[in-house]
Structure 1
Amino acid sequence: MPCAVILTALPVEYLAVCVHLSSLEEEIHPQGTIYERGKFDSSKGAWDVGIVEIGAGNPGAGMEAERAIAHFNPDVILFVGVAGGIKDVALGDVVASTKVYGYESGKIEQTFKPRPEIGLSAYSLEQRARAEARKGDWLKRLSVPPQPNPRVLVAPIAAGEKVIASTKSEVFQFLRSNYGDAVAVEMEGFGFLEAARANQQVSAMVIRGISDLINNKAKVDKAGYQEIAARHASAFAFELLAKFKPTAPQISKVEKTINNMPGGLIPHRRCREVFGREELVEEVLNRLKNPQEAPILCLGGVAGYGKTEAATCVARDAIAQSVVEDVLWVSVRESELSDTFITANNSNALFQWEELLYKLSIQLDCTADRESVQKRLRERKWLVVLDNAETSDLYDILSKLVKMLDPSRVLLTSRVNTPIQYVTVLDCPGLSEFWSRQLLLDEANHQKISALLQASEPQMYRLYELSCGAPLALHFIVGQVRDDEVLDPVLDALEKADGQVEVFYRFTLETAWQRMSETSKLFLCYMAKRNAGVPFEELQGVHPVTSTEAKEARNQLRRWSMILPGNGNQRYDLHPWVRRSVRSNLQANWEDPSPPDDLDRRIRWKYGI
């Protein structure tokens, strides 16, 4: 039986969904979220449906969507509720999202410059929504026929943290000026679709009924239009489910060929070539071969030392040498760290045990419970790689996972030391002088950077010494020398950093930020919000620019080594340190401050006054 999850923000929305379900039973998540699970019958078959009321706001919607996906492992996840109409809609109309803009993101100068964030609905659901919008069969699911008949629009929606109560407000005028194709505004859709995007096996969409047209909101609410809009949105959502045929997600097709394609889950290399990791890889492999060794190994070290690249080398060689039969790879989410702790604004972002079980169950093609995952792990010798493990609830996860392994093993990458008895930590050091030089010269030859190719022996040694052999620092050196066309400014910056590579990382990012185009900055900020690579076509849709401008922005980010080369599917990604830094808004330190007389306008924007 296919499974769907429906999230709502308000009680009136939740009740409108419940009407379409039978056999509802309460189900409590281990973290405390209370769901109800019921059955939806249609002429084409039944659906198992989980529903939850989560309250208002994008951050909460994202967290609860992640939790619900891990708990239910659904085929479809929908956010169903009410919204305010911006244009081209009437009270009671329904909007099925093609995309949802996160309108809060931007830069405050003398005017607010938006840097759009976009959540996309699943293509298959969008197409089904268009088909059902033309038919009008969904109206039969309403107990009382509406007069006149409401319309269904398949169109963009805007989402932010503000309740907009007037068409004369600054925020409303801002939306009309900058998001002219958005027909409705609400508070949860962007966070919801962001979470769904990280789980590509799930089809997601936001469906909203128009409960007000911004002005006179209290009056139309009193007239019952919240209830009407919620009923209409819910009726259309269930008509969508009734006619929607879930397809096996592409990722599952890949994962089901694991037996025939060992190593299929190991990510693409981030760099053209991995230098100087032979000894480290050999040591890890020897420990994996040793049955007396700790069941969990950890590659530790500071940011930019190439832990993930080393782990990919270990994983491929472990299969090639028959140390393990295959590899499961889980990339734990990218969260910000401060003094080795998750920062306060991301404290709810810790990767939990239930999420790991879910991700492993997808790769192992089994149900997401401990017994099923353990059975699969013990059937063969797997290497389970947890990348960026420091952003997980590590002690809880490892204490449970270690009991399930024999004969499988675990390899972590982590910026934080893990002093646990059954974990062996191996340091991932900087490259040697020889391999640092090889990396620099290889990139200099590949990119034709004469200033590096002509560098003297003392200069090359100084580059190695001050960079500490950190691969990320070496790549940043390449990017800056290419842009400067001389070596001295880079050496000066390294001298000032005095061996503190993160100081040099920040200097490079600051220099690049101050020199790059506004389009490059938009691309960088957009990619930083994603946990996976982004295709170029998606980047082009971030901001209305020409194809030439978009390509130049992409190439500019490449030159500075801000983005990693596109893989076989041409998806571009950021190094984790770059992503974390941009997410934490490090670049705000380098922006020109707004003039003092702009303070009132900024306060009005921030607090919706």
Structure 2
Amino acid sequence: MSNGSVVILTALNLEYQAVRQRLADPQVHRHERGTRFEVGSVRGTSCNVALGLTSKGNHSAAVIAERAIQEFSPVAVLFVGVAGALWDTTRLGDVVMASHVYAYHGGTSEDDGLKARPRVWEAPHGISQLASHLARLNDWADPAPGHEDAPQVRFGAIAAGEIVQNSRISAEAKWIRRHYNDALAIEMEAAGVAQAGHLNGAPVAIVRGISDRADGTKNSAEDRNWQPKAAANAAAFATRLAVELLGEQEETAMPRDDRVRSTDQLDRHVSNTAHNSTVGVMAGSVTGSNVHLNTAPKASGPTDLIAELECFHDQLAWHRAEGTLDEDTCREALTDLDSALRSAGGNTPESSKRTVMTLRRLRGLVAEYPALVAALAPIVAAAGDLA
């Protein structure tokens, strides 16, 4: 499938239905191992979403997330649903987007007690920035009936474990609040999805609506009342985020003619301002006072794609030589690039799909280097067109 899509996963049918209601004409897509997804577009937009159900727990969530990433090569994976608030400062119905995820069940048992040894995954910077922007706009929520306060988006840590947390006075509850006192919410799937995204080079965002306070009120009348509201609020924010993510992806991978026009404008600007000046150029050529920048044109076949990959190899080497790319990242990036070059020469649907997946993993590796991300984005898009 084309990489112009976002995967949205949920753990519960209630959460699944909250997202599905926002999709137009969802169609069943069956994974070869039996996992069923539904693929549709967010109503009123061209944003394609592949929706899947993971069931409860980090382990099953990780497996289904990896299947979804391999199957759809998505722009991003959003895990959407409800969670319990750890502190009274977060209101019921509000949405928490994870700035980072704790897998809090990691630890070591010693004579003087249980010591925390969590794994932690941070949210991708670009997605966090976009989500913060949407939260400031504050126009994503469905109109609330009556005079209820509109839900707000909170950003902070989310703790993900292997048990349903429904107490504030149990030994486990006190331990969590002592060791993870910056966590806003607690749930059971985010760590698995974050790990799957990390291993496959896919950006992951966790979006949770607060349905309870993890204080013994789960399955109460109040919880049954708040669960659908919290799920709907999380679905509303997540689908808005998905639409904006794909919009940004399309802007990054603009058609070649548009990129050439942008480059021509830059050439004219440099030509008018850089007389008798020294200009450092990462890639391209200089003629007189004109600077000509290399762009990544849309590949018309495997040979063109290989040429663009080889050009990107030179850019990695340049960044490493300049000291803007650390040695370990460069080594891993070159390993992925070599793998992409090998699969790009296969000229089969399977090899094309492997190329896209490898390039997406490579993009994750260089996510902190804007120049490399910008150079890689049209190559990823071109590889996707060939897949």
TM-score category of the 2 structures, normalised to the smaller one: 0.5 to 0.7
* 1:113 has 2:128 as partner: no
- 1:132-531 matches, within 5 Å, as 132-139=134-141, 141=142, 144=145, 147-200=148-201, 202-215=202-215, 216-220=217-221, 223-244=224-245, 245-247=247-249, 257-260=308-311, 328-329=338-339, 364=344, 369-370=349-350, 372=352
Q: What's the TM-score once normalised by structure 2's chain length?
A: 0.66
Instruction: Please give the alpha-carbon distance, in whole angstroms, between the structure 1 residues aligned to 2:65 and 2:73.
Output: 11
Taking a change above 3 Å as real, the CA distance of residues 220 and 152 of structure 1, as seen in their structure-2 partners, is: farther
CA distance in 2, matches of 1:372, 1:172: 48
Counterpart in the other structure of 1:37: 39
Question: CA-to-partner distance for each residue in 1:79-121, whole Å, 9 max, x for gaps?
Answer: 0000000012111111011101000001001310001210221
How far off is 1:133 after superposition?
1.6
Q: Which has the higher contact order (CA 8 A, sep 6+)?
A: 2
CA RMSD, Structure 1 to Structure 2 (Å) = 4.0
Note closer, same or farther for the CA distance 1:262–1:184 as it changes in structure 2 (3 Å cut): closer
Whole-Å separation in 1 of the counterparts to 2:98 and 2:134: 14
Provide structure 1 residue ranges, at least 5 long, that are not aligned to the other structure: 267-311, 317-325, 330-359, 377-384, 386-532, 538-609
Per-residue displacement from partner, 1:333-352 (whole Å, max 9, x unpaired)? xxxxxxxxxxxxxxxxxxxx
For structure 2, list consecutive stretches of 5 or more residues without a partner in the other structure: 254-295, 297-304, 318-330, 359-363, 369-387
Distance 1:327 1:96 in 2: 32
How many residue pairs are counted as aligned between the two chains?
292
Structure 1 residue aligned with 2:300: none
1:182 CA drift (Å) = 0.3
Amino acid at match of 2:153: V
Q: Deviations over 1:424-457 (max 9, x none)?
A: xxxxxxxxxxxxxxxxxxxxxxxxxxxxxxxxxx
**2:229 and 2:353 mapped to 1: Cα distance?**
44
Please list the CA deviations of residues 291-332 of structure 1 after superposition, one character each: whole Å capped at 9, or x if unmatched: xxxxxxxxxxxxxxxxxxxxx9xx99xxxxxxxxx9842xxx
What SS class does the counterpart of residue 32 from structure 2 fall into? coil
Cα distance change, pair 144–24 in 1 and its aligned pair in 2 (3 A): farther
SS at match of 2:26: strand
* TM superposition shift of 1:534: 9.6
Q: Secondary structure at the match of 2:27?
A: strand
Q: Following TM superposition, by how much is the alpha carbon of 1:195 offset from its aligned partner in structure 2, in angstroms?
A: 1.0
Instruction: Tell me the residue number matched to 2:17.
Output: 15
Percent of aligned positions that are identical: 32
Which of structures 1 and 2 has the bigger CA Rg?
A: 1
The answer for the alignment partner of 1:71 in structure 2 is 71
Shift of 1:148: 2.1
Could you say what secondary structure the match of 1:30 adopts?
Answer: coil
Aligned to 1:391: none
Q: Could you tell me how far apart the structure 1 residues matched to 2:108 and 2:337 are?
A: 43
Distance 2:101 2:58 in 1: 11
Give the Cα separation in 2 of the matches to 1:50 and 1:534.
Answer: 24
CA–CA distance in 2 between the matches of 1:90 and 1:203?
A: 28
TM-score (norm 1): 0.43
Structure-2 separation of matches of 1:366 and 1:225: 52
Over 3 Å counting, the alpha-carbon distance change for 1:327 and 1:155 in structure 2 is closer
The whole-number CA distance in structure 2 between the counterparts of 1:18 and 1:362 is 39
Q: CA deviation at 1:134?
A: 2.0
Tell me how far apart the structure 1 counterparts of residues 151 and 32 of structure 2 sit (CA, whole Å).
41
List 4+ stretches of structure 1 deviating above 6 A.
253-256, 262-266, 365-368
Q: 1:327 to 1:210 in 2, by over 3 A?
A: closer
Aligned to 1:122: 124
